Structure 1
Amino acid sequence: MWPFHSRRFLASRSTAAERRIIMSPLTSPSVQTRRSAGGCSAMNPIDATLLNRGLSWREYRATVEKNADVFDRVYDDPGFDDADLAPLHAVPPLTVVAIGEDWCPDVYHTLPAWVRVAERLPGWELKIFPRDQHPQLMDAFLYRGRARRVPVYAFYDRRRYLQTWWSGRSAEAQRAVDGWLAGRTFDQLEPAERAALGKRLDAGYRERFRRANFDEILALLKAFFHLGPDGAGA
């Protein structure tokens, strides 16, 4: 098992861009290192029986009832290339535990990309858990200890120990959503405003948020495992 590292220690070993992500306040939302807060210790290690209940991409895709066209487009064009993944070849094989629901834009615009990551990296695998069918697992990764925010991407080693995890949306996407909400919650919006926000979010993902999410998670992994741009140890 890789040793525990605090956010501060990770930042001391990382590039400037990675430090901004690791040390960003959790109000900008997504980056988490291994910690006991929010119940993560309950899934560390994750139970083997539970892990085996996770769905493969093919199994999950067969259950998708909403936004299937977007899932397929992102799978066909995940928005990264082999050079982006080069540093991760230095990481021991990981299992990605992905939690999501097919109605969520933050899920259907990003989950297929991580499916492709796991397919391209030798020894990696990805298990998908529909959030509402797995409340105990979801409760191990609560946003700010309260909200069942998806997607969650949790990275486990071969001994089933949690290494690091990420949830929600990138800081860039969150800033945009906060601006659109203008101090309100989604529930406070009128139906027409909700529809308009959904269209803006979809457009944002097509234009830049998908890549921003990918880059944020990639930076987290590189920092956690002390990887340089080419995968060499920092």
Structure 2
Amino acid sequence: MYRQIRNIFKYMKIALLLLFCTFFMPERISAAAVESSSDQAAVYPQLKAKASSPIGFVPEGWKLEKEYRDDLNGDGIMDLVVLLRKQRKPDLPKSSDTSEFDSFDTKPRILAAAFGSSAEHGFTLVMQNHTLIPLHESPVMSDPFSELTLKRGVMKITLESWASMGSWYSSNISFTFRYRENCFKLIGYDRYELHRGSGREVETSINFQTGRKNVSSGLADKKHRIKSSRFQRSPLSCIEKVGEGFAFEAP
């Protein structure tokens, strides 16, 4: 379903850009279209192996969007997770209105984790990933990145799909990781889907450690039907193997 919706919005995006370029704001949307096209083939720099602070991992032309702290490897030292984003061109035209195009940023992100060291008083890079969080591809779609939380050594990343036009569906997808065997392993997956027209909800929760899957479905104001099942467990996947979040195929 996610792939179908995204394909629809890719064509809608082209149509909307052409429409606005022709009738409303040609300079602004033309620039956004060019910037968006260039981001589809973005080059992701290799981050520094070590840094004394979060800003030390930020490459030229990028910015520190978010930073988080927690003990991720159980050594009692605070570790670091950063979300980096490529900077927008300063000369990108902007309008004085409050349309969706004002906050439409196609720039890619890099998710990175670094472990703290008491001896060196700095951080050592252990992971960088640019595939899990998709690009923001359409001005009528929400930014795919919703939130990231760290708690008791567990990293949870939530993506959001919401359209202001063209689809009644909205959804949230959460990926839960824990650092094991030299990588961040996917241990949990949660998905919430809502059809805003009918009010039908579907909630899916998967525990990759136990091989259990629970699905709850029904109307928002009615009692839900809950179905539990088991699936054959396989070795836990590292974050690098998960791929793009919206394209991930859960068991």
Higher alpha-carbon Rg: 2
TM over 0.5: no
TM-score range, shorter chain: under 0.3
Q: How high is the TM-score relative to the length of structure 1?
A: 0.26
Higher relative contact order (CA 8 A, sep 6+): 1
Q: How high is the TM-score relative to the length of structure 2?
A: 0.25
Structure with the larger strand share: 2
Structure with the larger helix share: 1
